[in-house]
Amino acid sequence: MITLRNLSIASLVITYCLIILGGWVRATNSGLSCPDWPTCYGQWWLTPTEFAALGNVGYTYFQVMLEWVHRLIAGVFLGPLILVIAAIAFFRRHLDKAGWHLALGICVVLLIQGKIGGITVLDANSPWSVTLHLGNALFLFTLLIYFTARLLPAEHFAAPEPGWWRPFLLGLWLLVLGTMLTAAVTAKSGASLACYEWPACNGGYLPDLTDPQVRIHFFHRTLAALTGFGVLAFLVLAYRGDNPILRRLAFAATVLVVAQITLGALVIVLYVPVWTAVAHQAIGVLLFAVIAAALATVWRAPTLDTSEPLDVGLHRARAPL
Nearest partner of 179 among 140, 133, 143, 218, judged by Cα: 218
Report the distance separating Cα 211 and Cα 131, nearest Å. Answer: 21
Give the pLDDT score at 1: 64
Give the pLDDT score at 152: 82
DSSP H stretches of helix in 241-273? 244-269
Q: What are the pLDDT digits (tens) for 188-215? A: 999 999 998 988 898 888 898 999 999 9
Give the pLDDT score at 320: 45
Report the distance separating Cα 134 and Cα 223, nearest Å. Answer: 17
> Between 47 and 159, whose confidence is greater?
47
Sign (positive or negative) of CA dihedral 304, 306, 308, 314: positive
- List, in order, residues 6 or more apart from 45 with CB less than 8 Å away: 68
Give the pLDDT score at 284: 95
Other C-beta atoms within 10 Å of 71: how many? 21
Torsion of CA 108, 46, 59, 213, to 10 degrees: 0
Give the pLDDT score at 272: 82
pTM: 0.89
The domain spans of the chain are: 1-152, 155-305
Mean residue pLDDT across the chain: 89
DSSP 3-state of 161 = strand
Highest mean predicted confidence (pLDDT) among 163-167, 287-291, 298-302: 287-291
pLDDT at 303 over 60: no
Give the pLDDT score at 122: 86
204 bridge partner residues = 201
**Mean pLDDT over residues 130-140, rounded?**
96
Report the distance separating Cα 300 and Cα 317, nearest Å. Answer: 12
CA 164 and chain centroid, separation:
24
Q: What are the pLDDT digits (tens) for 72-100? A: 999 999 999 999 999 999 999 998 999 99
Q: What are the pLDDT digits (tens) for 233-256? A: 999 999 998 889 999 999 999 999
